[in-house]
């Protein structure tokens, strides 16, 4: 099968990236040292090609009513242009079709960013739901755009070094806000637990922008560092920490679900009818070894399973997210079965790391 490529694919190869198949996309795993890329993001600034993710525009008078029905979080929170909302799109059984970000631009124009691996499924789902409400609502797929995430304590300063004219529009952005500067859509969002921007721009400008960021001292970083950074930050990965068979309420995403208002949304009835019995909680391994997804976790309240796990370069120990019985609480001693051997671990509240500092 021919792998899909982003507009930056040639420059990744020029920079000697190790390329891998990531959900059908040819993407950089690292550019030599995954550990170095991780630490550069935590201590300085790194950049990721996230152009495989899909930007979707919703245009029409029924955009807000459509989103009220489509997603679990309440889009009525979005009243200021550029404001962003993290949410999940659920199936009627309350399972997670995808997690995504919605930006409010105008009352008749919202922007969504969905995951690469679920993009086709998401579009088909949205189009079917659109036809039930308002067939005239436009759902526009924007594969003409690229997206580059610049993350780290010095990320914003280095972006302003490259596009100084954007500073005035973006310096006072709060987290989960975006601003438009020319052809750049600059959002103060990210997937690393560090400050920074996710910048959407026309594909034809992406290579020059990437090169300029590199000249300004921003380190290219691949999927490997992106995964260890997001795990330390306690951020879910679709397909591992949640999917269509799991509720957001048992995936640490209860804060993204609005069950208080009268608004009905797809999956709400199922969430109300089926109380959760499991929760997502953090694990820290207290012995030598590496925690991985699908390893069994034995607790005094019953068994569970690791959803995401790995070595934390910041904490220099193995950490994980695990779906455990609801009775488990931070500080519990548990056992993780690794290659038929039971290793000791401790449950903790996550995130593990935020803004370069350990939180455990």
pLDDT score recorded for residue 158: 98
Q: How confident is the model at residue 220 (pLDDT cuts 50, 70, 90)?
A: very high
Between the alpha carbon of residue 171 and those of residues 38, 120, 275, the distances in Å are 25, 35, 43
Q: Summarize the confidence of residues 161-177 as an average pLDDT.
A: 97
Asked if residue 345 lies in contact with residue 291, where contact means CB atoms within 8 angstroms, the answer is yes
313-327 residue pLDDT tens: 999 999 999 999 999
Beta partners for residue 49, in sequence order: 148
Is residue 180 pLDDT above 90, yes or no?
A: yes
Q: Of the residues 198, 232, 266, which one is the last residue of a structural domain?
A: 232
Q: Summarize the confidence of residues 208-217 as an average pLDDT.
A: 98
pLDDT score recorded for residue 351: 98
Q: Of the residues 232, 260, 289, which one is the last residue of a structural domain?
A: 232
- Considering the domain architecture, whether residues 195 and 312 belong to the same structural domain is answered as no
- Considering the domain architecture, whether residues 178 and 293 belong to the same structural domain is answered as no
- Considering the domain architecture, whether residues 36 and 149 belong to the same structural domain is answered as yes
Domain assignment present for residue 227? The answer is yes
pLDDT score recorded for residue 177: 98
User: What proportions of the chain, in percent to the nearest 5, are helix, strand and coil?
Assistant: 25, 35, 40
Q: Is the peptide bond before 351 cis (omega within 30 degrees of 0)?
A: yes
Residue 359 three-state SS: coil
pLDDT score recorded for residue 293: 97
CA distance 147 to 6: 10
pLDDT score recorded for residue 347: 98
Asked if residue 297 lies in contact with residue 325, where contact means CB atoms within 8 angstroms, the answer is no
pLDDT score recorded for residue 199: 98
Domain assignment present for residue 151? The answer is yes
Domain count, the chain: 2
Domain assignment present for residue 122? The answer is no
- Considering the domain architecture, whether residues 303 and 175 belong to the same structural domain is answered as no
Is residue 349 pLDDT above 90, yes or no?
A: yes
pLDDT score recorded for residue 281: 98
- Considering the domain architecture, whether residues 298 and 226 belong to the same structural domain is answered as no
The domain containing residue 47 runs over which residues? 9-51+144-232
What CATH number has the domain bearing residue 162?
3.30.1360.120
Q: How confident is the model at residue 288 (pLDDT cuts 50, 70, 90)?
A: very high
Is residue 84 pLDDT above 90, yes or no?
A: yes
- Output the average pLDDT for the chain: 97
Q: Summarize the confidence of residues 340-358 as an average pLDDT.
A: 95
Neighbour count for residue 172 (Cβ, 10 Å): 10
Q: How confident is the model at residue 1 (pLDDT cuts 50, 70, 90)?
A: confident
CA distance 241 to 299: 19
| 3-state SS string for 5-53 | CCCCHHHHHHCCCEEEEECCEEEEEECCCHHHHHHHHHHCCEEEECCCC
């Amino acid at each position: 099968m021919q792998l899909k490529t982003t507009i930056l694919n040639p420059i990744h190869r020029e920079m000697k990236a190790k390329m891998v198949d990531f959900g059908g996309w040819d993407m950089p795993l690292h550019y030599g040292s995954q550990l170095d890329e991780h630490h550069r993001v935590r201590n300085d600034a790194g950049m990721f090609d996230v152009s495989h993710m899909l930007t979707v525009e919703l245009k029409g008078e029924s955009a807000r009513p459509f989103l009220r029905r489509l997603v679990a979080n309440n889009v009525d929170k979005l009243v200021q242009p550029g404001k962003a909302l993290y949410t999940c799109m659920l199936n009627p059984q309350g399972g997670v079709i995808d997690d995504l970000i919605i930006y409010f631009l105008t009352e008749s124009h919202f922007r969504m960013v969905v995951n690469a691996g679920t993009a086709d499924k998401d579009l088909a789902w949205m189009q079917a739901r659109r036809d039930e409400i308002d067939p005239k609502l436009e759902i526009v797929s924007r594969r003409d755009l690229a997206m580059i995430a610049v993350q780290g304590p010095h990320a914003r300063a280095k972006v302003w070094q490259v596009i100084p004219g954007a500073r005035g529009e973006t310096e006072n952005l709060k987290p989960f806000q975006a601003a438009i500067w020319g052809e750049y859509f600059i959002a103060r969002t990210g997937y690393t637990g560090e400050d920074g921007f996710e910048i959407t721009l026309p594909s034809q400008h992406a290579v020059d922008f990437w090169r300029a960021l590199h000249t300004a001292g921003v380190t290219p970083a691949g999927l490997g560092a992106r995964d260890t950074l997001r795990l330390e930050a306690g951020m879910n990965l679709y397909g591992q920490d949640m999917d269509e068979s799991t509720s957001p309420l048992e995936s640490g995403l209860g804060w993204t679900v609005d069950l208080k208002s009268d608004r009905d949304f797809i999956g709400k009835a199922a969430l109300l009818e089926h109380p959760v019995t499991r929760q997502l909680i953090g694990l820290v391994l207290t012995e030598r070894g590496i925690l991985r997804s699908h390893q069994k976790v034995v607790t005094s309240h019953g068994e569970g399973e690791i959803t995401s796990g790995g070595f934390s370069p910041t904490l220099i120990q193995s950490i994980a997210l695990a779906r455990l019985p609801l009775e488990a609480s931070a500080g519990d001693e548990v056992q993780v079965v690794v290659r038929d051997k039971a290793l000791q671990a401790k449950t903790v509240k996550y995130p593990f790391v935020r803004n370069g500092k350990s939180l455990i």
